[in-house]
Chain A
């Protein structure tokens, strides 16, 4: 089955700086890559996603890039704010099932 690795496990950034989280996947047939944000005691919330026919997608301060050849994709958050502090999960979908990375704790320091 699909295996998703996510790095780093924890990331601290100064407010206003950029944060980048990288994920790799194993199954070249995976074709859909969502990113979720999870706040304490809550369920994950979709923040952005990308399909395999697109290399980059942007939504305000958030962007995702996909490199199908290398089988990795990244989340970029620019101009970070304290409310960006959360756990971020990447996922890859093939065969109608999502495989999740282990999550990345992002801490934005005011």
Chain B
């Protein structure tokens, strides 16, 4: 089945540690996105990429990094510089002028 796969479903981070969240899509979509969701809040854009080897900062990029080496993959690294990383992270993708489709998220918690 075509879709967006996020892994792992749950992730724990220790102080001073970087962690990487995986997002893979087999929809042949050009654009991919990372959002952060906090309780009772809407989705806030972290980074997005409209084409391979290119990406742009969203509204809350500080403390995060991404790469887009392959069309189907857009991993997000939560660095130790992100002081409040506990949240639900959502990856999405789309073709130009088409709706965004979401994965089922990764919940990140601090040990």
Contact = CB atoms under 8 A, between A and B. Distances in A.
Interface residues of A, number: 21
Given A1-B59, A97-B45, A42 B40 contact: no
Interface stretch (A13-21, A44-52, A64-72, A74-82): A44-52
A41 B105 CA distance: 8
Given A43-B90, A43-B104, A100 B99 contact: no
B103 interface: yes
Given A89-B43, A100-B42, A102-B40, A43 B99 contact: no
A44 B43 contact: yes
B40 A103 contact: yes
A43 B40 contact: no
Interface in B4-23: 4, 6
A96 B102 contact: no
B59 A44 contact: no
Interface residues of B, number: 21
Given A96-B50, A103-B40, A43 B103 contact: yes
A42 B105 CA distance: 7
Contacts of B53: none
A33 to B, nearest CB: 11
Contacts of B102: 36, 43-45
B105 A89 contact: no
B100 A98 contact: yes
Given A96-B50, A97-B48, A46 B101 contact: yes
Interface in A24-45: 34, 36, 41-45
Contacts of A49: 99
A43 B105 contact: yes
A4 interface: yes
B97 to A, nearest CB: 8
Interface of B: 4, 6, 40-45, 48, 50, 58-59, 90, 92, 99-105
The 5 A-B pairs with the shortest beta carbon distances in the complex, nearest first, are A43-B102, A100-B42, A100-B43, A102-B42, A43-B104
